Structures are given as C-alpha cells and as structure tokens.
A and B are shown apart, each in its own frame.
Chain A
Amino acid sequence: MSNVNDDSPEAAGVSAESPKPKPNYTTFISTIRQKQPRSIFSTEVADDQAADEFRGQREHIIAEINSFLAKEPGSADQLVKRIKSLIRNHYPASEYLDNPVWTEADLEDRVQDIWETMFSPENTAFRNLAQIDAAGMLNIMRGVIRRVLEKHANPAHRAFYNEIVEQIGDDDRFDRYPRHGNFSYLGLTRWNRTGKDSSKTVDELVSFWKESGIKFPDMCLTFLKAGQRMDLCCEMLDKLDRWLVANHFYLAYKRLVNYPLSFIPDHYSDNDDDDGEYDISYLVFSKKRFWVEQEAQRILAENCDAWEKDFDEITKKWDKTRKEFLYYYYVRGIDAGQAADRVGMRPSYATQTFSSIKSSFKERSIKYSREEMAAYMLFFKVYAERFSPAKGGDAE
C-alpha cells in the first residue's frame, strides 16, 4: 500500500518516470533466490536535494549498522545518532509530533521506544528463531522506526492519511498503481492511453496548481466533506493531465490546502485527557486507539461473561436507531456524521446520542485503567456487532 511516509523511491524524491517493465522469468527466479540487503534508511525524503544528499550517505550508514550488529564498540551510539537524524530529517515534527520542531528530548523518547521495541529480549528471541540475517534485521528496524513514529503521530497526520491517501486508494477514478516497479502512480483512466507522466518536482507542482485557477480551501479554516475533497483531487489531476508519482501529489496537496490542520475533526481526536484513567462513557464516545497488550487480553478473558450481562442491561433501553448508529460508527469505523446519515438521521443525531449516552453512564462513573479500557473496547467492538441492521439492530 502506498503511503505518504513509505520508503518507496518516489518518497525519496526520485523524479517521476514511466514504470519499468516487469522482470523476465530468468531474472525473477534469480532475484528471489539472491536477495540484496536494503537499508533501513531508505525512507521518505521531502525533496530531491535531500534525497541526493541522503543517497550519498547510504553506503556509509549500512556499514555503520553492520558494524553495530557485529558488536563493535561505539557503534550503538552511532546508530542512535543516525536514527535521530533520520527522524529529524524525514519525519516532519508538525505531523509526527505536537510541536513544530523535534527537540532532543522528543528524539530521545522515540529512540528509546524504537530501541526497546527492536531489542527487547522477546523480539530478539523471535528474530533469532526466525533466522533473520543482518539484512533482514535492517529492514525490520526500518519497520520498527515507522511503527513507533506512527504510534505517536499527530492526529492531523492520521486524519490526512485517512481522508486523502486511503480514499484515493479506494476511488477507481484515480487509477492508483502502487505496484508498478518501485513507483506509486496516480492518474485518470484516459491518461492510460497517452502514457504521459509528470516530471515536475513538488515545488513545480505546487506552483503549477497555484496558477491553474483551482480554488484551494484553507484546511486550517474549513472542513471539506469527502466528496468535495475527492472532486478537488480529481480537478488537480485533470489540470495536470499526466500520470504522477503519488507522493509528489500528496506533498503538493498538503501544501496547497495548508495541512496539517490546526483543528482536528472530533472523530480523529486523540488528545483526550490521557491521565491513565478512563470513564466508561469513553467507550462509545471515542475512537482512541489503544495498543492492546497482553494484560488487556487477560482482563477481557476473565471478565467477558460479566460484561456481557452488564451491557445487556445498559443497552436494553437503547432504541434500534441508536444501536444501528453505534454499529456503523463503532464497528464499521464510519465517521459520526455519515453513521447518522446511514440510519436516516441528521448529523446532529450523533452529538445528541453521544451526550445522552454519556449522561446515562454518569451513574456508573467508575474509572478504568488503560488496560481495562483497552479490554472494554475490544469487548464492545464485538458486542456491538449485534447491532448490525442485518441482525435487526437488536442485541438478541
């Protein structure tokens, strides 16, 4: 899946070119038998200049990590330094942090997390059992860096990803080709016949679209609905009339609409009070992502019988519309306004429902730990499947 943050060459600022032909039979077989190691540092780079600079360092970086893996003295420090540099240069603080710049403390936090994830005794044991070689380890570390950064990413970044990248991926009009060679392309169907692709850099694309007469909304001030957003993207591609490296499009779009947002739509908000204690109303009210850990699984296994009874009691008074709304919102992951629309209600129904549920939960204002809340959310996602319209929207 293509990603604004992925490590594909277009993300590294390589200029667009037509996808290369697929390997032939003989070369393919030899390729799958003799794999080449890849660097963990081949992640996204915002512009071509940085990419060139980075490419020059690549061999040196690989050598450093290999020496680290061979446990040479001092190489751990060098690796840490490189990881910090990678984060600072290639993961914009405005997207992956709540601050405009990475501070040394932020970087320390992330490196610590990456280190613990990568070199925890359990992960090391698994990698040893899986017979992962040095090249594989480097790639896994690349994944770990991404995982850790994504885990702490700014909700605005995730909103962008869900609102633009994912929707473009699902929309046939964009003819998205994530698999042609190492490039991910966007373009409308009729361009297939022309075979023309854009070689413009991100800066050039921004200028081109600025001058093209399209009205770009300031996303800091306004919220565009899904249909409008996609129409805008189509118009951008229409004006360009070329195939285009997907990541160039995403980066240009962000600049043109003033991403990241200065406000976060409710349904993506992760910034609820994170004091480690959660009210039960949080359950149906928020989609905060809990990284479910073993403890949550244990709590769930021990309590699901009792919880089922509790929830039968709680939801007994809920009407069919509310249950179906929660099914769409919570189980299917549709945003609140659209979920209300699905059950034939106005968008304000979502707010009213949340308020009503919240107040009805007040009498049960027990505070739960993070693990308990994670277990509850796991439970409720399965429980709420009973509210599916296919099952009559009823809990029985």
Chain B
Amino acid sequence: MNFLPGQILPINSNFWPDDITMAVMALVIKSEGDLLTLCPVHNAPEFASFFDLIIPANKNSLGCDLVVMSENQVCVEKSAIHPKVWSDPNDPYIKKCLVMPEDEKKRIIDDIAYLQQNTTIPAAFKVMRGQRLYENSFEYRWRTHLTVQWESFHLAVLLAATEEKIEEYPAYMNLRKVLETICNNFDSFCQAGSRWLEAFEADMTAGMAPSAANARHARDGVSQISGLKKSLENKISEEGLMNARNARLLKGSVADLLELAFRTSRMR
C-alpha cells in the first residue's frame, strides 16, 4: 500500500508511550520505499503553536479539528502506521482516512510549506496557525510533553524495525550492542535529541547511585553509539554517498543514526 503526501493516518499505538493523554495521528509528508516522513496531528487547537497548521473540522473531510505540528517531522519505518490500515482497510474509520480527496491532501502540504515560509504579518495569518506560546504556559508545557512523546515514538519504531531485521544489517554496525544501549537509556535519548552524547555523559557523572561498574557501563554505551556513528560516516564517505541529508542524520539524534543505518544497509 502506498501512502501519498497529505494523507492523515492512525499511528501504531504499540510504539506510543503509555502515558498518552491526547489522541495523535500522523500526516504523511513524504514516502520513500519502506520509510515514511511523518508529522504528528492532534485535535486541540488551543495547544497549537506558531508553526502548527490548524485545519478546522468544517474544512476537512475527516470532520474534526486537526492540528498539524509541522516542525516535528520524523522519518520512520512503515510499521509506524496502525496495522489495521493493512489488515482491515474497510473499517469505516480507516476507509475515511484512506479515501481523503487528492486536492485536500495537496492543499494541506501546500499550506504547511506556506506556513513555514511566511512568518511575518500580514502573510503569516493567511493560513490558520497557532500562537506563540509563553515558555512557562500550560499550553507550552503540554506541547513540549507531546513533542517528547513523539520523539519516543520515533525512536521506538526505528528500534523495533531494526531489531526485526537485524540479520540484514552488516556486521560492522555492531547493532545488537547498540540496540541494547539504546534500550537501557531510552528516556535519555528521547529527551536529549541530537545532544545524546552530552546527555549520556551527564547521566554518567550525575547518576543516582553511581558505581564503578555503572560508570564503565555508561562509557561502553557512549562508545557503542559513537562507534556506530563513526562506522556509518566511514562507509558513507567510502561509497561517496555523503550528501546533505546523510550529513544531517550523522549529526542528529540516536533515532537519526538508526535511520541512517537503515538507509545504508539498503544501499548495499
């Protein structure tokens, strides 16, 4: 099944953290093979920030308010989408998502591009967008929490996808150890984003009850992830595949490294 940009689909709740306090769907931004670029969609306009697109219920075929968090795009494997989309496409709600009109999908993608490019008055408000949120506000905190949940979803999907096909990954990536490290420090990696190395070191030096063994374990963890980063960097350079996207992924979060490993393993 191919998904087109602009399609809004239910996510696979198995990968969503337990403490869900808001229903979230996903908007497809791009589809390339087994990978989908998604951004989160919720239905609470009061939490929309300045770069979130608001699509009111009367202006979309799904019949509910939609808020697209356009800044939170992540690239994940297809298993991020709810399995019912494949197993039961005739479910009335799944069907409603799948038959979204083409022009509506296109309009959403166009509006997102417009919203990101136009940030000054009066152009900024020609599309319906959220407001700038004060850092201490309830809305800001709520949205930040949702962003961390989304990041955790991102990492969990890639982690499970990597684990499932681990035999297909080249040995030089040493992914078994890497996955173990990620699992043991899952929350830290979700919160830290691209600052994973700093976060790891902070955890190591300020652990709750550090012992020599824990510290050594943490150092091993850093070296596992750093090792993956280095080997991917070498491989990409050797193959002449260093481009803007790969360079960005190399500098990104642990989930970005897993995405790069996924892509690199399929380039062989």
Contacts and interface: CB of A to CB of B under 8 A. Distances in A.
B65 A294 contact: yes
A142 B122 CA distance: 39
A378 interface: yes
Given A32-B160, A129-B93, A177 B21 contact: no
Dominant secondary structure at the A interface:
helix
Interface string A364-388: 0000000000000111011100000
A84 to B, nearest CB: 20
B208 A180 contact: yes
Interface string A21-34: 01111001100111
Contacts of B66: 126
A126 B5 CA distance: 20
Contact of A136 (B20, B132, B136, B188): B20
Interface stretch (B69-77, B138-146, B222-230, B250-258): B138-146
Interface stretch (A93-101, A246-254, A285-293): A285-293
Given A32-B156, A131-B13, A192-B208, A378 B128 contact: no
A142 B126 contact: no
A132 B23 contact: yes
A99 B48 CA distance: 31
B99 interface: no
Interface in A21-58: 22-25, 28-29, 32-36, 38
Contact of B97 (A22, A29, A129, A143): A129
B21 A131 contact: no
B121 A383 contact: yes
Interface stretch (A67-75, A221-229, A276-284, A299-307): A299-307
B168 to A, nearest CB: 17
Nearest to A38: B18
A151 B47 CA distance: 12
A87 to B, nearest CB: 17
B206 interface: yes
A292 B97 CA distance: 27
Interface size class of B (residues with CB under 8 A): 35 or more
B178 to A, nearest CB: 10
Dominant secondary structure at the B interface:
mixed
B101 to A, nearest CB: 16
Given A22-B186, A180-B208, A333-B135, A294 B56 contact: yes
Contact of A123 (B11, B43, B48, B127): B43
B46 A292 contact: yes
A128 interface: yes
B184 A25 contact: yes
A297 interface: yes
A136 B137 contact: no
Given A192-B208, A294-B45, A333 B63 contact: no
A125 interface: yes
B23 A125 contact: no
Interface of B: 8, 10-11, 13-15, 18-25, 43, 45-46, 48, 50, 54, 56-57, 62-66, 82, 84, 93-94, 96-97, 120-122, 124-132, 134-138, 141-142, 144-145, 156, 159-160, 163, 179-180, 183-188, 191, 205-210
Interface of A: 1, 3, 7, 18-19, 22-25, 28-29, 32-36, 38, 122-123, 125-133, 136, 139-140, 142-144, 146-147, 150-151, 158, 161-162, 166, 175, 177, 179-180, 185, 189, 192-193, 195, 243, 287, 289, 291-294, 297-298, 300-301, 304-305, 308, 331, 333, 377-379, 381-383
